[in-house]
Amino acid sequence: MALWLPYPSGAGPWRRFAQQLQRSNSCGARPETPIRDAMTQHPVTVSTDDNGSVAAAVLREHRLKNLPVVSTPENRRLVGCLSVRRLLAHVLSAA
């Protein structure tokens, strides 16, 4: 089983995006707002070379539910997304 999922990973992320957009609209953000004004400029990531322990530490330290996975720390090309749920399933299946 792959530890991270290829990006994008089905309808779930898009549904969550729509929910977040609705919440942001209630806080004064507009649909016309450029993505660059709403996105995280320097997101916390892990690379495909990192192991599950590193990913778990990063998720815990930054209190994240999802973590972008990049090809290498140098070029930072997005290759997937790791969720706490997926990491936990991977750890439990290995036990």
CB–CB of 90/1 below 8 Å? yes
Question: Which residues are within 8 A (CB) of 67 and not within 5 positions of it... i.e. 6 or more apart?
Answer: 44, 45, 46, 55, 58, 59, 81, 82, 83
Provide the pLDDT confidence category of residue 93 given band limits of 50, 70 and 90: confident
Give the whole-angstrom CA distance, residue 93 versus residue 22: 36
| Model-wide pTM > 0.75 | no
65 Rama class: left (phi>0) / alpha (psi -120 to 50) / beta = alpha
Supply the CATH number for residue 53's domain: 3.10.580.10
In this prediction, residue 60 carries a pLDDT of 93
Give the whole-angstrom CA distance, residue 24 versus residue 1: 35
Domain residue limits at 86:
5-94
Pair type for strands 78-83 and 5-6: antiparallel
pLDDT in tens, 24-74: 655 566 777 787 877 788 889 999 999 999 999 999 999 999 999 999 878
